[in-house]
Structure 1
Amino acid sequence: MRPRGFSVVICVYTEERWKDIVEAVASVRAQSLPAEEVLLVVDHNPVLLRRLAEEYTDFPEVRVLANAGPRGLSAGRNTGISAARGAMVAFLDDDAVAGQDWLRHFDKGYDDPAVMAVGGRTLPSWASGRRPVWFPEEFDWVVGCTYLGLPPGRVRVRNVLGGNASFRRTAFDAAGGFAIGIGRDGDRRPLGGEETELCIRLSRALPHAVLLIDDRAVIHHKVPEVREGFGYFRTRTYAEGLSKALVARSVGAGRGLESERRYTTRVLPAGVLRGVRDFLLGRPGGAGRTAAVVTGVLAAAAGYAVGSVRARRGGPSFAVPAIGPAAGAREEAR
């Protein structure tokens, strides 16, 4: 079967990540299955927009676009989707490096016409060179990575994780784009959940759609030192609770929290027991990991409670944009 064309969308927002952005683009250009194009979507930063346009002026497969919507990751992704020329649209974080066969493994998943999305495995690349001894693997989602508790192999899932994911372009025609008002929007609070909401909405629009994760589609996500600290851990878990409240408001708590219930009742208790065991055996970090799991659960629960109250009081609103036609839907920076 002939490989499908992939448009890879990388959303960027700050010159502080210049080196990371260049490395992310290089990893896509080095794929064993070449991408049809790389779309760099710049989030309301004219200086970075011009600099990237100049950097890639001699690379026709790299297109530099301005976010055509409000500030934030969801609008940036929607801009990339609307401009995409490929039959498949893949997303890569701006501070991640894709493995050489990343797109090839995505592509294999689409041999089944029922498959509408394929995600991959995201591994942390710690700035300090090693995982903090107190940091539980069950909470690797805090730093945008695949966490302990997800099933291995190529498996069907409720939702893929946005920084390492791909969709058929037609999935957005059926379900619309990423919701504006969920996820990161330029605020310092590290919200998320926009890919979960989209995937649930996609499954409702196309009841027979299959969503997969293939853990051979690997990327390495850089974790800066500021995110290795307990303060960020606590802030991010609280923000996740806020995000889940918005997701539940959009798609209902039953579907919106389906995976989270299993995670909370099965995966996290096992993590606590491992931490206690390691502590009793005198292994480093056992007590810290146990405390982190408990803190993470409490912080997320508090965030969810606050977010639910805000939603009932008419809190932050969100909108699901329709996605326009592909191939040149947005003006480029050059």
Structure 2
Amino acid sequence: MSVDRSIPAELTFTAIICAYTLERWDDISAAVASLRAQTSPVTEIVLVSDHNDELLARATAAFPDVRCLANAGQQGLSGARNTGVAAATGDIVAFLDDDAAAEPGWVVAQLDAYRDEQVLGVGGWVLPAWKAPRPDWFPDEFLWVVGCSYAGLPTTRAEIRNPIGANMSFRRSAFTVAGGFDPMMGRLGKDAAGCEETEFAIRARGAFDGSRIVMAPDAVCRHNVSPDRVTRAYFRRRCQAEGRSKALVSQLTGSDTALSSERTYVSRTLPLGILRHLRSGGRAGVGQAWAIVEGTALTASSYLVARLRARRVPTGA
């Protein structure tokens, strides 16, 4: 479909934060504060509480300048995001995780990318804010495990398949035409599932002829990495969840599109990373090289198992 994506004289900007637990109250407050402190003001801030009435009441009282809403859809991140999108009035709809804080120039950098009329979505750079010491075995190539930008992503503005969900935006028209995030995908509470932004980005691009999604590395946020996410157990669980999620995306969109970025990542970024870490020597280098091997094996095997199971399910089941 060919849709008019002309840029108004001044784009309006809605920022959405989806939250589900009061355990992150300090993080949520920091996220809201970071949006208030932008060098170019956010047109509106929307906070969606994911089926948590106590959180909604507290946020409504604490943030009088924020539109605080209850998730009107299925519980989970996709449903919460869709609720925020339905309420948004901005030309650009952006998403910031409830445990992330945007740098002051975040809005300016996001909007600057939309000067290109073909740009349908923008992904920003996500820096880790470690709340516990970073393990010496944790490689940069697997920072996606903790929801952050990782080695292998473009470090200058360039086209990408999909953004990282903690720091991304789309034209509101993308949702009008392509629909919202798939509620069958994405996180529910603390689970390790994901890839709803991958599936949406693929679907949205298919609905707009010639559209592009780009990386804007100067649109920076800092994403908290809590102590429970720096364990080897979480690393393994997250890799396995990624494999299952990618299998579902492949089932919905086709493996060619769903794995287009992963092919370069696995064939080039990871082998180079293994060599680099081994050459660096020492226990840390060996540990990071092994983590790449283990993480790749866990993700790939989980993907294959999920694909095989999907093929065994009778049509219409």
1:243-301 superposed Cα distances (whole Å, 9 cap, x missing partner): 0000000100011001101100100001111121122xx3x501110110011011101
How far has the Cα of 1:312 moved from its partner?
A: 2.1
Q: Within 5 Å, which residues of 2 pair with 1:52-91?
A: 52-57=59-64, 59=65, 62-91=66-95
Q: Does 1:180 align with 2:196?
A: no
Question: Relative contact order (C-alpha < 8 Å, sep 6+): which is higher?
Answer: 1
Give the structure 1 partner of residue 294 of structure 2.
295
Q: Identity, % of aligned pairs?
A: 48
8 Å CA contact retained: 2:106, 2:219: yes
Unaligned runs of 5+ in 1: 318-334
- Mapped to 2, the partners of 1:156 and 1:101 lie a distance apart of 21
8 Å CA contact retained: 2:103, 2:220: yes
How far has the Cα of 1:8 moved from its partner?
A: 0.4
- Mapped to 2, the partners of 1:45 and 1:200 lie a distance apart of 31
Partner secondary structure for residue 138 of structure 1: helix
Give the structure 2 partner of residue 110 of structure 1.
114
Letter of the 1:245 counterpart: A
8 Å CA contact retained: 1:158, 1:199: yes
8 Å CA contact retained: 1:3, 1:107: no
1:56-109 superposed Cα distances (whole Å, 9 cap, x missing partner): 23x2xx100000111100111000000001111000000001000001001111
Letter of the 1:51 counterpart: R
Give the structure 2 partner of residue 332 of structure 1.
none
Q: Within 5 Å, which residues of 2 pair with 1:211-222?
A: 211-222=213-224
How far has the Cα of 1:55 moved from its partner?
A: 1.0
Give the structure 1 partner of residue 31 of structure 2.
24
Give the structure 1 partner of residue 155 of structure 2.
152
How far has the Cα of 1:131 moved from its partner?
A: 2.8
Letter of the 1:152 counterpart: T
8 Å CA contact retained: 2:120, 2:205: no
How far has the Cα of 1:183 moved from its partner?
A: 1.3
How far has the Cα of 1:310 moved from its partner?
A: 3.0
- Mapped to 2, the partners of 1:202 and 1:251 lie a distance apart of 11
Partner secondary structure for residue 285 of structure 1: helix
Give the structure 2 partner of residue 125 of structure 1.
129
From 163, 166, 179, the equivalent of 1:163 is 166
Letter of the 1:290 counterpart: A
Letter of the 2:30 counterpart: E
- Mapped to 2, the partners of 1:114 and 1:265 lie a distance apart of 29
How far has the Cα of 1:3 moved from its partner?
A: 3.5
- Mapped to 2, the partners of 1:106 and 1:294 lie a distance apart of 35
- Mapped to 1, the partners of 2:74 and 2:297 lie a distance apart of 32
Partner secondary structure for residue 41 of structure 2: coil
- Mapped to 2, the partners of 1:52 and 1:31 lie a distance apart of 20
Q: Does 1:36 align with 2:57?
A: no
1:154-197 superposed Cα distances (whole Å, 9 cap, x missing partner): 111111111100110001112111111111123x5301111111
**TM-score w.r.t. structure 2 length?**
0.94
Letter of the 1:119 counterpart: G
How far has the Cα of 1:25 moved from its partner?
A: 0.3
- Mapped to 2, the partners of 1:206 and 1:311 lie a distance apart of 29
Partner secondary structure for residue 142 of structure 2: helix
- Mapped to 2, the partners of 1:291 and 1:2 lie a distance apart of 51
- Mapped to 2, the partners of 1:134 and 1:117 lie a distance apart of 34
Give the structure 2 partner of residue 324 of structure 1.
none
- Structure 1 residue runs of 4+, over 6 Å off? none
Q: How many residues align?
A: 308
From 198, 201, 209, the equivalent of 2:200 is 198
Letter of the 1:19 counterpart: D
Unaligned runs of 5+ in 2: 1-7
Partner secondary structure for residue 104 of structure 2: coil
Q: Does 1:96 align with 2:100?
A: yes
- Mapped to 1, the partners of 2:308 and 2:77 lie a distance apart of 25
Give the structure 2 partner of residue 6 of structure 1.
13
How far has the Cα of 1:311 moved from its partner?
A: 2.1
